[in-house]
Amino acid sequence: MIDQTIKENVLKPNNAFWVENIIKARIAETIIKELFRSLGYEVYYYGMENSVPALTNKLSRCEDETSLGIRRMPDLVVFDQNRKRSFYIEVKFKADGAYSKVELKENPYDSAFVVVVTKKHIKCLTVKEIKEGKKLRKYPDNYLGDRPEFEFSEEQREMIKSFCDYALKYYQCV
């Protein structure tokens, strides 16, 4: 009973905890959006909040297949004009950098990349890898710059590292 009361109060819009988490998430999305733009990608908002904003609050309480599918839409689509490739990107902020299958829930986008912004790093795994049991851990590993799918140059890897400084700047007190 207490757990349900806490859950109901914590997840209510306009609750200070809820608002703070939304702000942290938006900062992470902005960091990743601007990072990919700086790396030469075209970036498009894709997630529920952008595709069907009027339904966001209504869908959060629905458990039908369509509502769940819309709620699970990744945050961004990035397009590499040079290589004619696009990628789904789900952005998360995790202060400690840990992220696992438990947090993923059901996600139909196996090819999507989960990009986790931490206080110091930008990490990345695919949804499929997470479903298979791979985890983002607290220690340094699984850096976005090391993903072979993006074919980052050394210069681009350095740019990614410089964007970690933004994460450190904005999340240092979190």
2 pLDDT more than 80: no
127 located within any domain = yes
Q: How many distinct structural domains can be found in the chain? A: 1
- For residue 124, what are the domain limits? 2-45+74-171
Q: What pLDDT digit, counting tens, does each position of 57-76 carry? A: 777 778 888 888 788 889 99
The pLDDT of residue 47 is 83
Q: What pLDDT digit, counting tens, does each position of 79-119 carry? A: 999 999 999 999 999 988 888 888 887 777 889 999 999 98
CATH of the domain at 105: 3.40.1350
Average pLDDT, the chain: 86
Q: Which residues of 99-121 are buried (b: 16+ CB within 10 A; e: fewer)?
A: beeeebeebebeebbbbbbbbeb
Pick the residue with more confidence: 84 or 11? 84
Looking at residue 143, the DSSP 8-state letter turns out to be B
64 located within any domain = no
